[in-house]
Structure 1
Amino acid sequence: MLDFVKSVQDLVNILPFIRKYSGKVMVIKYGGAAMISEDLKRKVLDDVLFLYSIGIKLVLIHGGGPVIDQWLNKCGIKPQFRDGIRVTDAETMEIVEMVLAGKVNKNLVALLNKSHSYSIGLSGKDGNLINASSLSDVENDLVGKVNSVKIDVLNLLLNSSYIPVVASVAADVNGQSYNINADTVAGAIAKSLNAEKLILLTDTPGIMYNVSDKNTLIKSLTIDQANCLIKKRVISGGMIPKVDCCIDALQLGVKSAHIIDGRIEHSLLLEILTLDRIGSMLML
């Protein structure tokens, strides 16, 4: 009986969130360690389907760095990074695209569609969804940036009750493929859709005063506070581009941006459907 009462109370507690977010658009970036474990992957996707079932319109953007590394190693290519960004020459780009737009994307779509046709897999190339160009002037550097997003494709799918699942590769007007950071793609799509939330699933609890102490997690902060922490180097390293991505999205219409630990079971539900939340939320 006590378990039943608790279950009913849990349902009552999330009703205000369902009323608030039903019909709203949320963009979720998924990747990193949460993608390696098959058990955790299923639980993340179960959370996605639960959010979908309560009427939230979802766009799932994914990377797949660990899987790319596995296939590069199989092909005798050593993964290389510069300033936290994958060095992507033509040979690496070919494998990146095959892994992300092929293996990873279709695996996620298949898992989401096990009981019903909920999702459709895309890359930035499909329907010219994302127009890209080189992030640098270095020859044969195929790391890209987002120039524009064609939201007609996404709105068509969202309004037809599908979950677009987007691999973070795209092309320029000449058809040249580019490898784009999945956080960047998620932020660009969230801005274009005026999303209610941008949520980055990461391998860290969120923004912390001390990266070695999860008890120093900062639950809520404004753009000004985030910029101040960057100047003080409290926010540093790989967290800077994530925070910059969130700030950019907020300045162009996204209501809130969240950085949460994708390794925690049901982290999406805990962040979206509870008052306490588990990660860091940035707002204007």
Structure 2
Amino acid sequence: MTTNSPNNTAAILMEALPYIQKYSGKTIVVKYGGNAMTDPALQQSFARDIVLLKQVGINPVVIHGGGPQIGNLLKQIGKESHFVDGMRVTDAETMDVVQMVLGGLVNKQIVNMINQAGGRAIGLTGKDGNMIIARKLVLERKAAENQPSEIIDLGHVGEVTDIDASVVRMLEEDRFIPVIAPIGVGRDGTSYNINADIVAGKMAEVLNAERLLLLTNTPGVLDKQGTLIETLSQAGIQDLIADGTIQGGMLPKLACATDAISAGAKSASIIDGRVPHAVLLELLTDQGVGTMVTP
């Protein structure tokens, strides 16, 4: 039996059927970033995945990043990027660039991409309808013993304090696909640049999403031998952190996933966005393409 035989095609569709039934009418929050966002072939496969989900009655909500695109524009205008603990220091001028790139260029590119694939996407930022209320993120770095801690000013970098998801729910009910840039607004009208993983996790909490998918440039969570861990409980995560298996950039992603689950999301997955159709493979097949975090 060849890979493109009618029987093989039918088997694939039948494998997907129970998952389509399980997720029908449910919300899936997808954080879109990494290679999947910059490789043209992966961009097309992602757009088609999102359109197919909506077509079969599943409600995808896309939260996107755009760090490399922001860095490129800053470089073009002669402004150097500075990072502290992986977060971009965002002064007023940089914030203008962030809003231009995330809320304009990148957001509209994703919307157009999904629409070209046959979907009905609507682009938003967290400032629209005061959807994402934020406050200034205070980064405190511990000093040596008996010394005061250092407070680092990151400028317009924010953390989420509240999300009003009524606009998202309205779009879902109207058969639209929300595409959201992670820009928040303070009570005083100040704009804030927020980590897209965090926004995706908080959105999954508020929407009581069935699944949270975080696209990354790694296969998922790996054990000490480099083998993919397909399923992890929250207790298992703590064990792997304690023995040093999980560290570095994977820590905030898993914190985001566990917070979303604790607040009501059914599960969260860290998946390999470098794999074509990663979203469909994770949601609608038995094997998946990443690590699923469960309660």
Query: TM-score by structure 1 length?
Result: 0.95
Once residues 181 and 13 of structure 2 are traced to their aligned partners in structure 1, the CA distance between those partners, rounded to angstroms, is 34
C-alpha separation in 1, matches of 2:171 and 2:152: 36
How big is the shift at 1:114?
2.0
Q: CA 1:116/1:45 → structure 2, altered by over 3 Å: closer, same or farther?
A: closer
1:89 is aligned to 2:100: no
- TM-score scaled by length of structure 2: 0.92
Kindly provide the CA deviation profile for residues 190-236 of structure 1, in whole angstroms up to 9, marking residues without a partner as x. 000000000000111111113x83xx111001001111211222111
CA contact (8 A) 1:105 1:121 kept: yes
Residue 227 in structure 1 maps to residue 241 in structure 2 = no
What SS does structure 2 have at the residue aligned with 1:204? coil
SS at match of 1:226: helix
The answer to whether the 8 Å contact 1:90/1:140 transfers is no
State the alpha-carbon separation in 2 of the partners of residues 10 and 138 from structure 1. Answer: 52
* Contact 1:36-1:66 at 8 Å conserved across structures: no
State the distance in 1 between where 2:79 and 2:41 align. Answer: 29
**1:140 to partner: Cα distance:** 6.0
Q: What amino acid is the match of 1:278?
A: V
Residue 166 of structure 2, aligned match among 145, 152, 176: 152
- 1:145-194 Cα distance to aligned partner (Å, 9 max, x none): 00010011111111111110000111101111111000000000000000
Q: Equivalences for 1:196-207 in 2 at 5 Å? A: 196-207=210-221
CA distance, structure 1, for counterparts of residue 123 and residue 60 of structure 2: 13
The SS at the match of 1:280 is strand
Structure 2 equivalent of residue 15 of structure 1 = 17
- Paired amino acid for 1:54: V
- Where 2:135 maps in the other structure, the secondary structure is strand
Moved more, 6-15 or 194-203: 6-15
Question: Superposed, which structure 2 residues align to 1:138-217 within 5 Å?
Answer: 138-139=152-153, 141-210=155-224, 213=226, 216-217=227-228
Equivalent pairs counted in the alignment come to 281
Give 1:56 deviation, angstroms.
Answer: 0.4
Structure 1: which 5+ runs fail to align?
Answer: none
Q: Distance in 1 between matches of 2:187 and 2:40?
A: 37
Match of 1:270 in 2: 281
Identity level (%): 46
Q: Which range is displaced more, 20-29 or 131-140?
A: 131-140
CA distance in 1, matches of 2:283, 2:153: 43
8 A contact 1:199–1:260 mirrored in 2:
yes
Pick one of 268, 271, 276 that aligns with 1:260.
271
Alpha-carbon displacement from aligned partner over 1:69-125 (angstroms, at most 9, x marks no partner)? 111111111222111112212121111111000000001111111265611000000
| Amino acid in the other structure paired with 1:27 | V
* Letter aligned with residue 220 of structure 1: T
Cα-to-partner distance string for 1:117-144 (whole Å, 9 max, x where unaligned):
6110000000111000111165561111
CA distance in 1, matches of 2:210, 2:33: 21
Check conservation: 2:126, 2:181, Cα contact below 8 A. yes
Secondary structure at 1:281 match in 2: strand
The letter for the 2-side match of 1:31 is: G
Larger Rg: 2
Q: What is the match of residue 279 of structure 1?
A: 290
- Check conservation: 1:34, 1:263, Cα contact below 8 A: yes
Distance 1:116-1:267 versus aligned 2 partners, 3 A rule: closer
- SS of alignment partner, residue 79 of structure 2: coil
Secondary structure, aligned partner of 2:90: coil
Question: Is 85-94 or 95-104 further displaced after alignment?
Answer: 85-94
Q: Does 1:243 align with 2:254?
A: yes
CA RMSD of aligned residues (A): 1.4
